Amino acid sequence: MCMSDRPVKIIGGGLAGSEAAWQLLRRGIPVRLYEMRPLKMTAAHKTGLLGELVCSNSLRSADILSAPGLLKEELRLAGSLIMEAALESRVPAGSAMAVDRQLFAEYITERLGSHPLFELVHEEIGEIPDDGIVIVSTGPLTSRAFSEALKGILEGEYLYFYDAIAPIVDADGIDYSIVFRASRYGKGGDDYLNCPMNEEEYNRFYDALISADRVRAREFEDEKFFEGCMPIEVMAERGRDTLRYGPMKPVGLRDPRTGKEPHAVVQLRLENRQGSSYNMVGFQTRLKWPEQDRVFRLIPGLRDVEFLRYGSIHRNTFINGPRFLSETLSLKNNPDLYIGGQLTGVEGYIESTATGLLAGINIWRRLTGRPPAIPPKETAHGGLLRHVTSSSPEGFQPSNINFGLIPPPEERIRDKREKKEYIVRRALQRWKEYLSEINEPQRCIIRR
């Protein structure tokens, strides 16, 4: 086993930082992890434990035929500490993988803390260390002082704001006998799909929307929304017809089934080049996920869609990954500085974990003279990595894992279940090949 005397410094002991630390430690690389809690808390964390979950205790679907299920399986196969902790602290939650959050974080803290090559320093870091290799994984609630330091090295192109995320739906579930393709006044080609509503359908949808259960605003998020990211249900409260003059305006659109302008329209915008998913335009929302499922299915044409991503609004801090990140997750202009977790532009617990895992593996490879190891694009890890490194930097938005990030089967498969089975089988095969390649023994050259 290769040993390195100088520790890799990790700033932030959340999900990504803990996973990155583990991937280094288990390969013989010493780690010094800086975590500011409990000396200084974020507005959401409650303990000083490593790997604390800030909100839900769910790591999402356990179904291997779902994208989150696939990502978790890839993590498990790669010896992820976060997955090990999840399996040790699992609680029954139907088809989801949910954990006892206290046991989960205690397990992570104990496993890392008892490793002989691990050092934990409780300290708020205010400057980016400039000696040796550093992983920055301070998360969506990065402390203010450190945000300023990051801004400095990112030439002001640092993003810190309230995320307003609209749901994304799977193209296969859309009812194309109802939904029609057109742009307003015929301008701009047929880029949008339109879900038309008559008055009765609109009223039913409106009543369900304004009475639906919402995620409570939290103290640290209690700020005014920009007009452009106002939740759809908050806008609806201004009056029954407000949405018809806003995101649901029907003007310039003609429903081919009736030849008339609908009473209201929900527009869907293509989310990816493969055409496998659509974004619900202007539908950023704070409705609880099961409520989004219930209410948005009332929209004609969307009854049977699968929600690849639910809408949400919360404070977020992330960098423009495609502009700044290399495929190893180091900064393009500073190869000693790696970024992990939500800061890279992924969204979610397991996604943050995945980027920590990739950063850890790549640092180990670099320190031991191995070339970078980039996961294949057909894997869930590869899909996420490409999202944060190869999307268009213009208007870059964070994403959680969904099948839209993974290339579709080479040949069209009509049956939805068969299609997912194919994608998952192909992903796991490629991931196993990748893991056996990265773990190949090699001559040990410690490069610093």
Q: Which residues bind ligand FAD (CB under 6 A)?
A: 11-17, 34-37, 42, 44-45, 54-56, 124-125, 137-143, 146, 314-315, 341-343, 348-349, 352
**Closest distance of CB 55 from ligand FAD, Å:** 3
Number of Cβ within a 10 Å radius of residue 48:
17
In the complex, least distance from residue 446 CB atom to ligand FAD, rounded to whole angstroms: 27
- For ligand FAD, the closer of residues 106 and 378 by Cβ is 106
Cα R_g (the chain), whole angstroms = 23
- Nearer to ligand FAD by C-beta: 14 or 404? 14
Task: Kindly state the smallest distance separating residue 398's Cβ from ligand FAD, in Å.
Answer: 9
Shortest reach from residue 321's CB to ligand FAD, in Å: 13
Residue 14 or 311 having the CB closest to ligand FAD: 14
* Shortest reach from residue 61's CB to ligand FAD, in Å: 12
Q: How far is the CB of 79 from ligand FAD (least distance, A)?
A: 18
Q: Which CB sits closer to ligand FAD, 44 or 265?
A: 44
For ligand FAD, the closer of residues 87 and 446 by Cβ is 87
Decide whether 113 or 256 has the Cβ nearer to ligand FAD: 113
Q: Residue 7 CB, nearest distance to ligand FAD (Å)?
A: 16
Q: Residue 113: CB partners within 8 Å, gap ≥ 6?
A: 120
C-beta of residue 103 within 8 angstroms of C-beta of residue 110: no
Residue listed under structure tokens 């978790």: 72
Residue 60 CB neighbour total at 10 angstroms: 23
Nearer CB in complex with ligand FAD: 231/247: 231
Is the separation of the CB atoms in 50 and 114 below 8 Å? no
Q: Please name every residue paired with 265 in a beta bridge, in sequence order, or none if there are none.
A: 196
Closest-CB residue for ligand FAD? 14
Q: Are 410 and 378 in contact (CB under 8 A)?
A: no
- Smallest gap from residue 251 Cβ to ligand FAD (A): 37
Nearer to ligand FAD, 196 or 345 (CB): 345
Question: Based on CB atoms, which residue is closest to ligand FAD, 53 or 299?
Answer: 53
Give the residue from 175, 136, 146, 165 showing the smallest Cα distance to 14.
Answer: 136
Q: Residue 164 CB, nearest distance to ligand FAD (Å)?
A: 14
